Chains A and B, each alone.
Chain A
């Protein structure tokens, strides 16, 4: 029963749904009795990474700090869930190497959809030049090449994305699950299995 820790790393553009999905997955894992901590990029910048800006160096430092805390938590049996834009591939991979038990979730959503959604009004400001160095507008975002889990929030409902993440974790053996696929459809189940087979997990 003593489940091992691991890190679930949500990456994606601002407003793509990382934090919402992370919170929902957190609740499901907690309902199964697992120990879970969330490290949210926005929150971390008010404490752990207070004072850091948005230059590439500062962004990398921020992501490495989050990665370091995830590493400590994971090796002590906690599921660490990170939710941060984390735009640079190199530093995400650095964390992956350090942590080992690392699952990357790419929360994908096209920039034009995000610009239209613009819940926090940030894209409008970035496009108007009021904010500089905004990821996806005038700062780069490097897509993950082989994320364990890909969710497309412009095409899937929130519930579908959450189910896909949880089911993938079950199949990878990170989260205790039952034989039955539960909430996922047969077609979706096969897609998830195919991805994990391609990545050599199952």
Chain B
């Protein structure tokens, strides 16, 4: 085999593919049967960014300086910005392949907008804001993508809401069908050594319909007509995958991955609202109703800490001398960090039972803490709670499905399924790592692994 296809199923959890629906997904099953499969341990945080970028660049979030979907450019009081490809300074798999004159086809890989040059074709990920900015590399590839995608390639499906999220469901099917059609069109040309497609659809349906799947979800209704919405989408996705497998050049080795999985979300802990009540986060004028933390409204001189929400919260302390208007004296940095971690760890729910969050420090879990690293991270996974960064309204908890809280949360456990060439013998492991994917691909092409990469090939 001389080509490699990396098919990403965004947020696909091991349980769906390996246990629950194994018999209903014959094409994924065929890749599994021919090769190896296992759980893929991901990053903390398990948000799309940094998870997928860590996979492509084979470095941990701290090394990449990417701790979540937003980035702080400096230790100042400016609102964090959405992470884009411009924040990815590390080389990715396709940079190394381009360097060795191998052709890559990269479709919808997270955090690839704006598109950066490579040898091959790149279609930017779901974060692409609109088509009036360049979204393919080379630019002219967009015409061919559009033509193969019914004239309107879709980056993402955003039609949440309405009584039943019906529109979203329609959109997701349409988006997936078009993306696979466009990808097949390019893959059929046999021009590419490395082909990668990441389908965001699984994540979107899971966020909207998990409540109908999981009897333990607080808003589960038995016998709901969307009871099989997620299952049915996976069956559809498997059929699309089947068509793609047929169209891939015969000398292609196929790997299916998810850089992260998913789990039920019972709601959210509103960390900034809690910090406000604890008088650690102060405002020039108190927020009247619930909304995102607006940095220009914060009274920074009186603020000691704030956080960015997500599946894992990134907590930042506001330290005098480090931040322009720090509320924590520099000498107290370490003691305050310990105190804040302890106070968060002691939080109980409304019935008094402790939330027992997992607290981790960047210097402990990463090999470096580049860029502006959070002072610590906190995750309430034991209670299946996400963390909301919104403030206002007074409540510390958001119930399942309240506000814009999704039904599903991300989880650091994804999958790897690889129909490997017979001569390559994969190592047997309980659990593989998101950092093992890039080394596997470079080794597949007999290329030397960069010394600073942290994973190892699967074989």
Contacts and interface: CB of A to CB of B under 8 A. Distances in A.
User: Does A associate with B in a complex?
Assistant: yes
Contacts of A179: 114, 133-134
A1 B101 CA distance: 13
Contacts of B91: 31
Given A30-B98, A33-B98, A176 B117 contact: yes
A9 B91 CA distance: 26
Interface in B93-125: 95-96, 98-99, 101, 103, 114-120
A201 to B, nearest CB: 19
A116 interface: no
Given A30-B98, A30-B99, A31-B99, A180 B119 contact: no
B349 interface: no
B138 interface: yes
B34 interface: no
Contacts of B96: 31
Candidate in A35, A178, A179 with the most chain B CB atoms within 10 angstroms: A178
Interface string A151-179: 00000000000000000000000011111
A32 B119 contact: yes
Contacts of B103: 33
Contacts of B134: 178-180
A76 interface: no
A27 interface: yes
Given A32-B117, A183-B86, A178 B137 contact: yes
Interface in A13-65: 27, 30-35
A180 B138 contact: no
Given A1-B138, A31-B95, A31-B96, A178 B116 contact: yes
A182 interface: yes
Nearest to A180: B114
Interface of B: 86, 89, 91, 95-96, 98-99, 101, 103, 114-120, 133-134, 137-138
14 contacts: A27-B99, A30-B99, A31-B91, A31-B96, A31-B98, A31-B99, A32-B117, A32-B119, A33-B98, A33-B99, A33-B118, A33-B120, A178-B117, A180-B133
Interface of A: 1, 27, 30-35, 175-180, 182-183
Given A176-B137, A178-B115, A179-B134, 9 more contacts: A31-B118, A33-B99, A33-B103, A33-B119, A33-B120, A35-B101, A178-B117, A180-B86, A182-B86
